[in-house]
Structure 1
């Protein structure tokens, strides 16, 4: 039996299981303040869910969600998902999200929302290109200052993702686009260490194209560890671009992987509504 076949995904309910989730959360984020077990127990009893991924008896990943309400509709708020560092890049995050979709539909939910750092392109590719989520809102410094190892030192800007789980919305359509034929909204140069540096931004393409590309680094944590100033410039330049175009009705619909050694590209789509591009 290979490794992928040995992974099991299931809902978690007991205080013992949820204590293991708290311990894994502390490991992943080096965080001294994970979600308390008594809180997660209450969540799973009141419309939320915690899903675990196991290798044998070992918990190697989790997904944690609770109910949300926007004043009109109830939705599922997907608060956090984490994978043990020893088991990353094995598709476990996608397995957890698909299980979340299945369980949420059983519970009557039609929409799932969550936030993620737009400069974490692995998450972006899963959230937008593979699952079919859409981002129409950029939140500046969403969680304030965060001291954990992945977020410390930079504003906690986030994309808000909406996932319409009542429809099959996976979209890999951007793979057919040719990079040089689409306008790019940030100029990128390399510094003396070979790191990509964000330079000029372009905010004048509202009526000139149906698709736009936003280049972003494909290894943001590496950039952050080597040069925090370069990382901050990426945060501020991408913030400027995304807040501008999303305020004009554009949506972030996918991540275009590239052969470039340091960059991927977000795809902005004009007149995008409910998963369908309107002409």
Structure 2
């Protein structure tokens, strides 16, 4: 039986370091050190693990921000053998309950906008939205991110929003998008669209491109940066993600 529980001391932190290497293939330089993880715990942060018996199979780490009502979710990882299960969602539910019990109403985190698995999880499954794009946020990285700029968008998770509760407990039917104008044709962007709702198509598997066609991955990174930054600056936000004949962000105009 899988259980989610908070870690309250250094016990288990070594396993979190092991999980970082398993999930992201990170070099030691990119792994959050044990001492820093323990410091997060004692300064009002959340460090929780998902356990199958005695084995930790996933974790979530959230740290305080300058805004006492907002937490930065620094990492969430699940080992490969448990991907495709509900472990990641259960970790986020735990984080939501933990935060709300302490008066924290918003959680934010960064993710790679080209990776459809992350986009689907963050927007469709959790009900987060995106308004910020940061080019090469972390500089050059190791592991699964090696070779391409570390562009990231910021997921905004309003814990009291009805949409968030609905997505994590009673997911709605996927909306149809066939009639919506698409921002891109592959790597070619259309930057003159004005409709209130648009879609942007992601590559089929950006991770495979990074592994097998690095120049192709870099081209997609540049095209995605151009299109998404342009429309976010024009007052749109990423409101949803749909897998329907491809991988698509849904963009809506604010207001």
TM range (shorter): over 0.9
Shift of 1:178: 3.2
Is the 2:45–2:63 Cα contact (8 Å) retained in structure 1? yes
Residue 201 of structure 2 corresponds to which residue in structure 1? 215
Unaligned runs of 5+ in 1: 1-5, 189-197, 272-277
Residue 69 of structure 1 corresponds to which residue in structure 2? 66
Structure 1's consecutive aligned runs of 4 or more residues displaced over 6 angstroms after TM superposition are: none
Shift of 1:243: 0.4
Residue 133 of structure 1 corresponds to which residue in structure 2? 128
Describe the SS at the equivalent of 1:63. strand
Q: Which of 137, 158, 166 is residue 152 of structure 2 equivalent to?
A: 158
- CA deviation string 1:88-140 (max 9, x = no partner): 11121111111100101111101100000011111111111121111001110
- For the residues of structure 1 that align with 2:47 and 2:204, how far apart are their CA atoms? 29
Residue 74 of structure 2 corresponds to which residue in structure 1? 79
Residue 185 of structure 2 corresponds to which residue in structure 1? 187
Q: Which of 253, 260, 263 is residue 239 of structure 2 equivalent to?
A: 253
CA RMSD between the two structures: 1.6
1:37 and 2:34 are equivalent in the alignment: yes
Describe the SS at the equivalent of 2:157. strand
- For the residues of structure 2 that align with 1:77 and 1:106, how far apart are their CA atoms? 16
- For the residues of structure 1 that align with 2:135 and 2:104, how far apart are their CA atoms? 28
Shift of 1:74: 4.1
Computing the radius of gyration from Cα coordinates, the structure with the larger value is: 1
1:169 and 2:167 are equivalent in the alignment: no
- For the residues of structure 1 that align with 2:209 and 2:45, how far apart are their CA atoms? 36
Q: TM-score, normalised by structure 1?
A: 0.84
Residue 23 of structure 1 corresponds to which residue in structure 2? 18
- For the residues of structure 1 that align with 2:51 and 2:77, how far apart are their CA atoms? 12
- For the residues of structure 2 that align with 1:17 and 1:167, how far apart are their CA atoms? 33
- For the residues of structure 1 that align with 2:86 and 2:115, how far apart are their CA atoms? 16
Q: TM-score, normalised by structure 2?
A: 0.92
Describe the SS at the equivalent of 1:16. coil
Change (3 A) 1:142 1:18: same
